[in-house]
Structure formats: C-alpha cells, structure tokens
A and B are shown apart, each in its own frame.
Chain A
Amino acid sequence: MITRAIDGKIRITLPLTDEDISELHAGDSVLITGSIITGRDAAHKRLYELINGGKELPVNIKDEVIYYVGPAPAKPGHAVGPAGPTSSYRMDKYSPALLDLGLKAMIGKGARTQPVIDAIVRNGAVYFAAIGGAAALISRSIRSSEILAYEDLGTEAVYRFEIEDFPAVVAVDSMGRDVYKTGAEKYRKV
C-alpha cells in the first residue's frame, strides 16, 4: 500500500502490489515499512546455484523484498548493528534469475547493468537505493532481525528484518527508468 503525505513523503507498506509498483517513479523518495529479507554476495551465489540445479530454495522469494546488506554486530540493547546497503552490481549476475522467480524488489546502492533493468521491467519489479554509508541512521529503522537461512555465513546470512519508515529512493522503476542515469545527466557539466 502506498500513501502520500501532505509533505510529499511517499510511505510504502509491504507487501508491494503490482499497482503499488506501477505508481513508483524513479527519483521518488520513499519510506518503507514491513517485512523484508537480506542477502548479499555469498547467499546470492548459493541461491543461484540451487536455482540452476532445479532445487528448492531455503526461503520463498516470491513477492519478497531483498536488501543487500551485511550488518555489523548489534550492541546489547540494539535490534541490529549498523546496516547500510552494499554495492548492488555484485549481485547483477544473480538478480535476473531471482526476479524471474517472483522477487518484487531489491534494496541496495549503485547502478545496475542492463540485464537486471530488463528483468525489472519484464517482471514488473522495482529497485530501491538506500544511502551508502548511512548505516547507523538506517539501523534505527530496523526494528527486529532474525536469521532465516545460511547461518554459517555470519554477516552474509539471510535475515528477516522488520523495518519501519526505512528511507530509500526509487532507483529503477518498473518502466526501466534509472535515476543513476538521469540524475547524473542532469547535473553533468562536462
């Protein structure tokens, strides 16, 4: 569900419907609330190998939102340690396969390659950018964290996060518009 406040803030409550996704435009600043999963390099590699082997995944990724993150350890009394996004392009090899299985959204940082953008359009998905290096700030919007799979990977395990007003920007929308292209072009002086 999407609500628009008078101050222009767009609040997204998960799960994301196709209608929600169609309303999002590259460049929109959003606040996301709901349940998401995490995964980065090592977990993606394992999921990808299972998909290629025709095997079942340890987590159902259909309609899920995945956040590319490897959190720092939580201090006592904190739900999670600092947890900012990691560079998304390292997941580009694996993302189209996950999107084709029904993954609805990704949260990361940095530009994606064309095959990922094509898979976003093909599946009516969306890619959000979180602010790289704003880890302590972002962790305040993560209410709880539990391990879902691949505990042996430590910080790279797949976690379930409950987030509230998680700040992000729509980076690639379901039409394939890419803020990493349009944003830089707008301010380029050379």
Chain B
Amino acid sequence: MEIRTIRAETVTDTVERLYKELNYCIGEDIKKALGDSRNREESPVGRAVLAQLIENNNIAAEEQVPICQDTGMAVLFVEYGERVVIDGSFKEAVEEGVRRAYIGGYLRKSVVSDPVFDRVNTKDNTPAIIYTDIVEGDRIKILAGCKGFGSENMSAIKMLTPSAGIEGVKEFVLNTVRYAGSNPCPPIVVGIGIGGTFEKAAQLAKKATLRPIDRKNGDPRYAELENELLREINKMGFGPAGLGGSTTALGVNIETFPTHIAGMPVAVNICCHAARHKEAVI
C-alpha cells in the first residue's frame, strides 16, 4: 500500500485560506436564494432587508471583510484518507490554520476557554471543533464551516421514538423554528439530523447546515420532506430579520443515519442566512 506524505504546513495553509474565504464570500447557493427571495417576498420591509443583505454580501466580498461580525466557532468535517501521513500533528496543523485566519484575517475571536466559570477569551478562536472520518484513499478532504451563535442558541434535539413517525419529525422541526422566531437572523437555513444516537443526530444536523441549499437529499422521500418543511416554515410569517414576511427560511437540509430499533433522534441546527462553508481537497 502506497503511503502519501502531506506536509502539516499545507494543511495549515489550506485551513487558513478556507476560513478567510468563507468569512468574506458567501456561497453561490445563498446568493441565488437571497436574490430569488427578494423577487418573491411579499413584505416591502422584507424586500428592503433582503436588498440590504445582498448589498452587505457584495461589500464583504469586495472589501475582503467578514459578512457578519460573528465569525463563529470553527467547525470542520474531515475525511482523512487512510494512506495519508502528516509530517507533524494534524490537529495542531488545523488549529494553527484557524489561528492564522482569525488573527491575520481580521475575524472576531469569539471562543472562551471555560464555559461556566472562567469565560476568558482564548484570543485566537481556538480550539476548533474537528470531526474526523477515516476513509479510503490518499487525500484529505476538509469541509470547513463557521457557526455563529445567534442561530446556534436556537437549535434543539429530541429523542423521538419510532411511533412518532414522520408527523413527529415535522412537528418537532416546526416547533423549534417557531420558537426561534426572530432571533436566529432569518431568513435561516435549517439543518436537520435524523437517526444515529444522541450525539450523532446533532453532528448530522451540523453537517446538514454545511451542505449547499441547492443540493437536495439524495433520497426523494427526504428531498420531498425538505421541500415540505421549507414551505411550512415560510408560512410562519417571521420574514427577513423577523420583521414580517414570506421568507423565513432559504433552505432546509436533512441528513440521516441508521438508528436503533427503539429510537428516532431528531436534531435541528438552525443557521442564519450567512451559512458560511467551504471545501478543499488536499
């Protein structure tokens, strides 16, 4: 089996570049969705808000400044090829990339060292949250996202049981979005994780927020559920910035995983309209 060596510095450079780019430039999927929504939005105030968001994204890309001041916690999903060896610590290489992007890229440092007692800023936005899957091959694929907490705070998980069925899933998702209301910077992107275990569902939901919203679930049944939930959410009336309107969500993404005979965990990770993510393969 041939082994490929990747320099730790290459990993660091890649992560640094991803975090700067994803914070300055919104993806084409969101750009298109904001434009389409602006044409469809029923509320005049809502249309004005969407126009401001579009202008904001243009300014950020042009001036190379963050789209939003909440440049979030760094969350990375890594597919690590089993034939790859790093000439150093992979974790440290990723952390260093995050550090360089947040310090050198004028991104806000929003991480505190201890959640309850100290709450002292770590001043470099580390640690990052890194999920690693070992996969076949000699490549490293990095899906990088940054997650702001206005929307993160509105997320929820519920251990549904099988008898709840699809109706139970819909009810929990819609209740979570309704409860979030105007807080998570609508129009939102809703990431839903169904199945697995308690923590797996939450992780799937996070990954769902990092999928482009124009790419539907591969299973037509879930793709239809994504469409149905999006329609229902947009009937709630919260609208852009929560000031009223017909655009409360831009997209709904569902990710699933096999689960236990006794369970049906559902996690709803809410993301703001600045759904920032970017991918690279080394």
Q: Which A residues lie at the B interface, using CB under 8 A? A: 27, 29, 42, 69-75, 78, 81-84, 86-87, 89, 109-111, 129, 131-140, 154-155, 167, 169, 171, 179-180, 182-190
Q: CB distance A188 to B235 under 8 Å?
A: yes
Q: CB distance B181 to A82 under 8 Å?
A: no
Q: CB distance B52 to A167 under 8 Å?
A: yes
In the assembled complex, which residues on chain B have CB atoms less than 8 Å from the CB atom of A179? 243-244
Number of B interface residues at 8 Å Cβ cutoff, please give it. Answer: 50
**Closest Cβ–Cβ distance, residue A8 to chain B (whole Å):** 11
16 sampled A-B residue pairs with Cβ under 8 A: A69-B69, A71-B69, A74-B106, A75-B106, A82-B66, A82-B69, A131-B52, A136-B67, A179-B243, A180-B181, A182-B244, A183-B45, A184-B237, A186-B237, A186-B244, A189-B237
Which residues of B (144-202) have their CB < 8 Å from a CB of A? 150, 153, 181-183, 185
**Which of B235, B239, B243, B273 has most chain A Cβ within 10 Å?**
B243
Q: CB distance A129 to B243 under 8 Å?
A: yes
Further pairs besides A27-B45, A73-B107, A187-B246: 15, Cβ < 8 Å:
A74-B106, A81-B108, A82-B67, A84-B70, A109-B185, A111-B242, A131-B49, A132-B68, A133-B273, A134-B56, A135-B69, A137-B52, A137-B59, A185-B244, A188-B237
In the assembled complex, which residues on chain B have CB atoms less than 8 Å from the CB atom of A42? 119
Given A82-B66, A180-B242, A184-B242, the answer on whether A134 and B107 have CB atoms closer than 8 Å is no
Q: CB distance A70 to B241 under 8 Å?
A: no
Given A29-B48, A136-B66, the answer on whether A190 and B182 have CB atoms closer than 8 Å is no
**Closest Cβ–Cβ distance, residue B168 to chain A (whole Å):** 18
Q: CB distance B182 to A72 under 8 Å?
A: no
Bound together, the chains give a CA A69 to CA B238 distance in angstroms of: 22
Q: Does B109 contact A (CB under 8 A)?
A: yes
Chain B minimum-CB-distance residue to A69: B69
Bound together, the chains give a CA A137 to CA B117 distance in angstroms of: 35
Bound together, the chains give a CA A42 to CA B120 distance in angstroms of: 11
Q: CB distance B65 to A75 under 8 Å?
A: yes
Q: Does B36 contact A (CB under 8 A)?
A: no
Q: CB distance A136 to B56 under 8 Å?
A: yes
Q: CB distance B182 to A180 under 8 Å?
A: yes
In the assembled complex, which residues on chain A have CB atoms less than 8 Å from the CB atom of B45? 27, 29, 169, 183
Q: Does B132 contact A (CB under 8 A)?
A: no
Bound together, the chains give a CA A144 to CA B122 distance in angstroms of: 27
Q: CB distance A134 to B236 under 8 Å?
A: no
Chain A minimum-CB-distance residue to B273: A133
Q: CB distance A109 to B56 under 8 Å?
A: no
Bound together, the chains give a CA A182 to CA B244 distance in angstroms of: 8
Chain B minimum-CB-distance residue to A155: B108
In the assembled complex, which residues on chain B have CB atoms less than 8 Å from the CB atom of A180? 181-182, 242-243
Chain B minimum-CB-distance residue to A190: B235
A190's contact among B59, B60, B110, B236, by CB below 8 Å, is which? B236
**Closest Cβ–Cβ distance, residue A89 to chain B (whole Å):** 6
Given A71-B69, A72-B69, A136-B66, the answer on whether A188 and B106 have CB atoms closer than 8 Å is no
In the assembled complex, which residues on chain A have CB atoms less than 8 Å from the CB atom of B235? 188-190
B68's contact among A135, A182, A186, by CB below 8 Å, is which? A135
**Closest Cβ–Cβ distance, residue B250 to chain A (whole Å):** 12
In the assembled complex, which residues on chain B have CB atoms less than 8 Å from the CB atom of A133? 53, 56, 67-68, 185, 272-274
